[in-house]
Structure 1
Amino acid sequence: MTAAIDIRGQAARIHDDAEAIAVAHVLAAEFAAGAAERDRERRLPHAELDRYSASGLLAITVPKAFGGAGVSAGTLAEVTAIISAADGSIGQIPQNHFFVIEAIRLTATEDQKRHWFERVLQGDRFGNALSESGTKNAHEYGTVLKPDAQGDLVLNGRKFYSTGALFAHWIAALAKDANDRLVFAFLKPDAQGVTLIDDWSGFGQRTTGSGTTIFENVAVDPQNVIPFQDAFDSATSMGPLGQILHAAIDIGIGRAALSETIHFVTRHSRPWFDSGKETAAEDPYTIAQIGDLTIRQHAAEALLARAGRYVDQATINPNEETVAEASVAVAEAKAFGTEAALNAANKLHELAGTRSTLAAHNLDRHWRNVRVHTLHDPARWKYAAIGNYYLNGIKPPRHGAI
């Protein structure tokens, strides 16, 4: 494991939404330059994540009352899409960092908020230890945080899909407490009893480091525990906020796939001989397909921006109706964005031609990345939730996967 660089006190401060978008574009240009090579070699982006932290972008959701920019959900989603278009793995890594920040905002004490928000503003990153493999479903947890014989809190369990943990200053571990309530426990990656294993072998999102985390009698300070389950027991923006980030990652990768298609067709592809055209870009069938892909990409981006406005309303005025509306709006962006991104990544090779499959270009990473990431939760359940809401007035369940 390579330890995260301690940059506390050196992180820039971003002040508003416009600055966040501008900084994201600067970072995206930097990250895009080595994205294909990092994916090909499976070289983890430690330096890039430190750059991300130092830029101040990882603190943009800290509320203004605590010194942050408090950007809108739409801005957060667009920043995520911009970075994901440059490098899908780097776009995904901070997803749970922002999820944890939202949990702190919603459930932590005032003292905890002041402490953790200041750490984030100074450049600290959260990695996740939420999901577990081998349980009946993704919402069953065997990790426990309970007092030992001396009454001290200790954490025990095994996690997988620990995206961000390898790059983190703090791991946010989801566990059941003595009352079987889900809590977040914050601990250092190098704490005694913590083992991080870089065993992520997915064919996409190769450099997210989403491997195994093991906790063996890890001592946890009670001040470093917040009541995660409280964020879902009542109507809050927690679920929609988490899901809009997932949608943004997919839509960002789709944006990259379409851009790569246009670039390759106009610069490298040859026209099909039956077309009678001088260039591949003049092929009428290719032109029509690019038009279709562009419309779908723009529609996905519009749905993402629309969903952001609903999440903002649920944040400002959380209740059963606003949270349900936000969840459904995000589900629309997620479902359509999944299909649009997969289609764009697949059509890249169909339209660009055989040469686009050469390993030197590594363009298949876009399809691999979006295919793997969209498996986070199935689009088919999104369509059902949306239909049930509009047809039968049934609100979607409150959790991070809808």
Structure 2
Amino acid sequence: MRLALLGCGTVGSEVVRLLHEQSADLAARIGAPLEIAGIAVRRVGRDRGDLPVDPALFTTDPLGLIKRDDVDVVVEVVGGIEPARGWLVEALRAGKSVVTANKALLAEDGAALHDAAAEGGADLYYEASVAGAIPLLRPLRESLHGDRINRVTGIVNGTTNFILSAMDATGAGFAEALEEATELGYAEADPTADVEGFDAAAKAAILASLAFHTRVGAADVYREGITEVTAADVASAKAMGCTIKLLCIAARGTDGAGRETVSVRVHPAMIPLTHPLASVGDAFNAVFVEAEAAGQLMFYGRGAGGAPTASAVLGDVVAVARNRLAGARAASESAYADLSVRPMGEALTRYHISLDVADRPGVLEAVAGVFARHDVSIATVRQGPAGGGPAGRGEDADLVIVTHVAPDAALAATVRELRGLDIVRSVASVLRVEGGA
């Protein structure tokens, strides 16, 4: 089995190293040796240390490499939308199996790749695109195919989980925790994709597509990042017996006409310390799956890094290579359900709202009236002097309200009206609450 490797950065280098170190075991598992036919890179002459590979294999012509007759499998670890999309579509249409870690491309235009795979009769595997080495996507599309998945809740970005865990442990603000994450190598020089939720949203789209047999793209995912989460929010969560995590949530539901739909969203949320995801710290990932027959399942491990991602890539390479030797093909994309995606306003959630209010009689009654007008039920109220508790950030008095479950649109409308009240100095914080009654 001869491989074309597109990209030789952090992940690509680890793929080469593992192919070299485990060559005998991989050949035994597949039934044939794996060989690198070529490696497409931007600069052939770049110093790659002691990478165990013949320098003659490097090329700056990825399309030419893909089109070679002696290439059986194309492994793409370059990332980005273009030119990766064109390369992979070319390979798949030519009947060459593809293994990719490209979450952005799969979320942006996975349909084009799946269609090309069907046209060429080729395999498309992408375990490494979500949660690194954690075996997650294959269980969703194979092991749980006989079940009905109702909800997937996950921590799928290690950078944001490290930042929020550091804020929780030390009381630091977002900027300080981000600086520490950057110094330790958990955050990129430009952390926007992570801290603004773009990375997690792409992964949420992939998870929802597999879980609900429906094509879900990045544009279908509601997204909020963690840049507005403050030390006061973290302290307020602790006072409630909660912690804050950036969650991706994909869930089945029904619309007003009773038709089945799906909801897919990424945002920071408070979750109770009793929830299985609450103890996931540092840069680890975890995904909590709720299925009708299997019940609750938890997948946990390192979700990023060269070696973990390369492990997932090679797992896929073994699978597609065995299929090619057997003259078989893996099950094609399952998108038969074709469910519509609900807008965020119809998602059912709870809110934690911190208000700075005037400290005078009748304030609580007026605030409660706003909630009642939008048919939002209040679960708890905590009131105290300004600056006197975890939520104390404004003048006069602090009011912390946690709601019962309601449509997000009703909750958002409630917050908008609260902002317009003269007795409300400011809406200091709004966070969703998940995983509780």
Q: What TM-score, normalized to structure 2?
A: 0.21
Larger Rg: 1 or 2? 2
Could you say which structure has the higher strand fraction?
Answer: 2
TM-score by length of 1: 0.22
**When you count helix as a share of all residues, which structure comes out higher?**
1
